[in-house]
Homo-oligomer: A and B are copies of this chain.
Amino acid sequence: MIYKFNVRDVRFPLAAGAGSDAVHQNPVYSYAVVQLRDDNGFTGTGLAFTLGEGTNLVCKAAEFYAEKLLKCDIEELMSHFGETFNHLSNEQQFRWLGPHKGVVHLALAAVTNACYDLWARKRGVPLWKLLIDLPPEQLVNTLDLSYLEDELTREHAIQLLNENKTSQHTRMSIIKAGYPGYDTSVGWFNYSDDDIKVNCRKAIDNGFSALKLKVGSPEPERDIRRAHLVRDIAGNDVKVMLDANQQWTLPQALFIGKKLLSMNPYWIEEPTHPDDIFAHQLLAKNLAPCKIALGEHVSNRILFKNYLQLETAGFIQVDALRVGGVSEFISISLLCRKYGIPVVPHVGDMGQLHQHLVLFNHISLNHEALFLEHIPHLKSHFEQPVVVQDGVYKTPMEAGSSCNFKEML
């Protein structure tokens, strides 16, 4: 039984330049950390990610949700978590503050993630194993598929899981091989050209075969110069992704995007405002065959449904710390499976939680094991930080979802 919870506002300043992008010049990687304590001695930890200011608001909202889980037995709760998620996310007064977006939804993510962590810890298994071993009906019981009726009913979700269940064993080799990573930290926005060169060489030496560069400079020439600089060092066999972090207007994205095609980017990420679905549809058409990646600022399954329906994205970067936690992440992964669009999460969690979720997506949903973003800046703060060797995430074997901070033990 969950008898107690606590919520903490944890902030980690970064080294100069680290984490910077065209819009966020001085981020402080921060978390609303929810801990649910079970009277059997287990503690479930769940995170929501922020960039500093306002983390306290997310914490306050998380208390509102966590309070409602007191006295719940975790196994009983997870046997119908989809219903609970639906009730919490539609709490009739709090709902006005979203619905299903912004501070309240970030808070729900943290609480939801703590539930899944507690569940896995109590069962003594890593979250990825819990998820792949669940019978499809039980897994779908943890999802809230409301407002997806036109695309993904409960029956359809179970069918998708069953269809891929038979070949599941053929994909288990990923556990030993590890899940490929890509390096986001070679080209933060405020890094100098020289830093980028050094970082690129190091990333490639460390076994990464995919790198990301931040673009969105006031002068397009800077973006173009730096993109070619990375391509020159990376060669043609390494994938290079470009990330504008929403900085461009639609006309700018069309203009600069086309110019950047000459260095053959693997994707162009967040070219403009994350609410502008129609702009992304136009960009997808105009920048083809280069694909658009998006999702780190898309709040919920309904918005992702629209992004898929309107054929805007070649890669979906849903983040379980932005949408309503593991539960909604899985719903969105099912939608992407239906549409045949790869899920390549944004890692607000620095990969700690998502290393579990991409294994589930690959093994149980037969999503391609493309690669998972890797950002190393907070490794010293996690109790069991991700292990990335030779460009590959080593599979976590500890119970839970790997989201404990040393500071909070």
Contacts and interface: CB of A to CB of B under 8 A. Distances in A.
A27 B58 CA distance: 22
A103 B93 contact: no
Interface in A18-60: 23-28, 49-54, 56-58, 60
B92 A103 contact: no
Contact of A250 (B51, B57, B149, B276): B149
A264 B314 CA distance: 43
A97 interface: yes
Interface SS of A by simple majority: loop
Measured as residues with beta carbon below 8 angstroms from the partner, the interface class of chain A is: 35 or more
A357 B78 CA distance: 48
A91 B103 CA distance: 15
A186 B263 CA distance: 63
Contacts of A103: 57, 61, 97, 102-104
A57 B54 CA distance: 10
13 contacts: A50-B96, A52-B93, A53-B93, A54-B61, A54-B93, A56-B60, A97-B106, A99-B246, A102-B102, A147-B272, A149-B251, A150-B251, A276-B305
Interface of A: 23-28, 49-54, 56-58, 60-61, 64, 90-106, 146-147, 149-150, 246, 249-251, 272-279, 297, 299-300, 302-303, 305-306, 309-310
